[in-house]
Structure 1
């Protein structure tokens, strides 16, 4: 007796499609207006399915699938068994300490197949009459499939061509085919199936393209906006996935700082890593330097000994990370750096005057912007950028813990959407009327009063020059960070309190 499967029958057809150029001679005969949706055990689906790899001969090409990649099928098999991220671990790392990383390996995405009829031929072969799968309609939205054999878990073999042909999902099926041989996956694990009936190979090729090529995949950074928990999941941080999200976001924020007209770094980042002779004027820091600085500060997850990132880590265990979108994050960084620039230009702290008037020398036009964009200020060098971002992140993360309401921003910007310059401008305008803007301006004024002259600046004493040389290299970042916190500890009250706490952690 044959086996039976219940299916949902749904219509995907528009009246205007009737006028399309259907041509059987071009392997594009008019398809059925209805599609089927059902599930069946992976072992059964694999037995009924044929997968045709793309080949060419003197008469043309036929078949859709790419060459089978055993590694990909093995990865899917491991994912089903252990979930992510455990399935991505090397064998040596799968031990007792990593067992907690196991998760369910769900495969909710449907395998797409075509049910062959008695008029379909593939490379000179047809489905034997006794092996055909018949479809009986039972009302408007119900259907029943009659299979050529009864046992759902039997590894049945057709006498000729398989009655199903796979349009999309071959590697998932091969994963089960191999797993059933070694007993690593159960035979009754079911997969969802979307089935067309009697679909010509021309339409199958079109469908394969529309599934695998045409759709625009979701940008990882869009997901970073839409799912804030991706920013702080500790089990993800152990591996590469979250780093990819964070580095992608850091690069986008760097791009915005470079392209946004309101940014003090507009057209002033060395995006291509050029030499100082060919880099844009005033571009003392490379794109890679900015990406690294943002990733290790505002996008740090706080795991291990790293700082908690304002844009990534949980502010509190109950509230999670800030739900700020990319335009809001960019607006924060723009206002932060612009506050520093404004304080330098308008207040002209002592070090600025010493830089533009070395040893008291007067010039026709002493420009304070040189203290921000020149080649003898650390604010235009990687050490300075990384130092500012590191301490700014820790200060504002501390303020967010003390006063979370300050960081609740109303916005008209839609999270996860493609970001436009107008979105950045809107977010910047919204931020400037919030109470948080006052804290940002206070921070900018406090950080601008630190002596940012580089070691090769004129007029430095021997002791000052030696101190600034100590800021170079990897150990110099730690020294600069400590000096900045000591400086900020004498600043505005709220900022000073957080800086003092940071110094306690450093001691």
Structure 2
């Protein structure tokens, strides 16, 4: 007995398309002007669907689908059950704390299929007449599909070729294989389907390319900007070895740097990864750049060869990690960069003068900030931000080991509550009156005396420009970090002494 599915039949065709070259011999015969849209139980769609997989021989290539990757289908199956980010956690990390990260695993994106007709042939095979899916118009914008069997939970198999041919979505569909075989998937769990009818393989290849290759992927900063909508408060209470927890914390700290009025980066971070034309004025570093820089420095767990993060790793086995609340962590980063900006405004260094008076003219007072927030200073570029944070983290972590009392505060802030701007302001006031602030100023003074001009800045010699270009790329971060330690190690202050010890470990 046959089953029936109701579908929306919509026309997606322009008159000028009629003049295009259609050639049946090239597997590009003229397609139907109408497309179908319907939903179908996942178990039934899986039973009806086959894949025309890509193969090659001496005569050329056939098919268009990639080889099925069982791991990818398993990951999708886990996503459907638990949502993101719980599904991406390793089994050992799926504990009681992590259960708060579970969410519905919706799959709202349509599976794209082609309904094979009696005349369609694939590698010498056709759909058996008894297995063909019929399409009947049932009024304006409506159609009815006649299926080869009625019971959606029936363990049905085709006599020869499957009547549906998957164009896009094979891994989503194959994720239900286990549930399809053992009958554990609910019969009313449906998937949206967009279906073409009798579509030639040349057009299928074109569709596959346009769906999977042509679209531009979302940029990382845009994705991180969605974190506040995705995460729960419990994410931010836990700072484990798992990168997803640390990225959530880093994103929150980045957001505070962007929104807190006292921050030197207030309204000056490219939160959505926009182009330089549409990004906020002076926003040289993206949100993704900041998240990466904070995650790999202050929030590093110290496992393997990574540095110990001041906000994450144990200072000593007896003391454990630094007992700072999130407002205190944000306040430290704001104070650090504010001290650097203040030092630039108050200092007289050749590199600063060459940026603010490239032609020897006397600059206006407000132009001096260009050395901190302009387009030709590495302090407003990703490599500079990563360099400063990496070196600052290692130096202050060492200071915390040598003199832990510097990092002890009697704070009015209640740890574990939501981070508010008022709490960050209180934390800044508490930090500014502490002895630790003098070390922050020493660090800022040493950092600012380094030449932060970028490779395209005016006044550089050929050798200087070559050195600046060497700071680009992944190897450039390592080179810049070493140069900063060398620079900071000169002097008699405590920060210089700690930098000298860090340099010995690098060499």
Q: TM-score, normalised by structure 2?
A: 0.57
8 Å contact from structure 1 (residues 42, 176) kept in 2:
yes
Equivalent residue number for residue 358 of structure 2: none
Alignment of 1:414-425 (within 5 A): none
Residues 106-145 of structure 1 mapped to structure 2, 5 A cutoff: 106-145=106-145
Q: Deviations over 1:435-467 (max 9, x none)?
A: xxxxxxxxxxx8799344667545x4xxxx467
**Would the aligned equivalents of 1:230 and 1:242 in 2 still touch at CA under 8 Å?**
no
> How many equivalent pairs are there?
362
Alignment pair present for 1:50 and 2:41: no
SS at match of 2:441: coil
Deviation at 1:212, TM superposition (A): 1.0
Give the Å deviation of 1:178. 1.9
Tell me whether 1:151 sits opposite 2:142 in the alignment: no
- Other-structure match for 1:308: 326
3-state secondary structure, aligned to 1:450:
helix
* 1:102 aligned residue: 102
Q: Which residue of 1 aligns with 2:342?
A: 339
Shift of 1:294: 7.4
Superposition pairs for residues 70-469 of structure 1, below 5 Å? Answer: 70-225=70-225, 228-230=228-230, 234-235=234-235, 239-241=242-244, 243=246, 292-293=296-297, 305=323, 307-308=325-326, 337-345=340-348, 385-386=392-393, 400-401=421-422, 450-452=441-443, 456-457=489-490, 460=492, 465=493, 468-469=496-497
The question of whether the paired residues in 1 share the 8 Å contact of 2:101 and 2:232 is answered with no
User: Where do 5+ consecutive residues of structure 1 fail to align?
Assistant: 272-286, 314-328, 347-367, 374-379, 405-445, 475-507
Hey, what does 2:363 align to over in structure 1?
none
Distance 1:292 1:46, change over 3 A: closer
Cα distance, 1:342 vs structure 2: 0.3
State how far apart, in whole Å, the 2-side matches of 1:230 and 1:8 are: 33
Using the TM superposition, give the Cα deviation of residue 472 of structure 1 relative to its aligned residue in structure 2, in angstroms: 6.6
**Do the aligned partners of residues 222 and 385 (structure 1) sit closer, same or farther apart at CA in structure 2, a change above 3 Å counting?**
same
| CA drift at 1:166 | 0.4
Deviation at 1:70, TM superposition (A): 1.2
| 1:17 CA drift (Å) | 1.8
**Matches of 2:346 and 2:420 in 1, distance apart?**
21
Deviation at 1:341, TM superposition (A): 0.5
Q: Would the aligned equivalents of 2:490 and 2:496 in 1 still touch at CA under 8 Å?
A: no
Note the alpha carbon deviations across 1:459-491, whole angstroms, 9 max, x for none.
Answer: x4xxxx4675257778xxxxxxxxxxxxxxxxx
CA distance in 2, matches of 1:17, 1:89: 48
Are 2:153 and 2:183, in contact at CA under 8 Å, matched by a contact in 1?
no
Q: Deviations over 1:306-351 (max 9, x none)?
A: 65279999xxxxxxxxxxxxxxx99x998874333102349xxxxx
Please give the per-residue CA displacement for 1:257-299, whole angstroms capped at 9, x wherever unaligned. xx99x97999xxxx9xxxxxxxxxxxxxxx9978745767xxx
Distance 2:117 2:284 in 1: 64
For residues 3 and 157 of structure 1, the distance between their equivalents in structure 2, rounded to whole angstroms, comes to 15
Aligned-residue offset at 1:101: 3.5
Kindly indicate whether the alpha-carbon contact (under 8 Å) linking 2:13 and 2:34 is maintained by their aligned counterparts in 1. yes
What is the RMSD of the two structures over their aligned residues, measured on CA atoms? Answer: 5.2
Structure 2: distance between partners of 1:304 and 1:177: 48
- Quote how far apart the aligned CAs of 1:111 are: 0.9
Measure the CA separation in 1 of the matches of 2:89 and 2:101: 10
Deviation readout 1:131-186 (Å, 9 max, x if unpaired) = 11111112221111011111111121111111100011111222212223345533
In 1, Cα distance between the equivalents of 2:495 and 2:337? 29
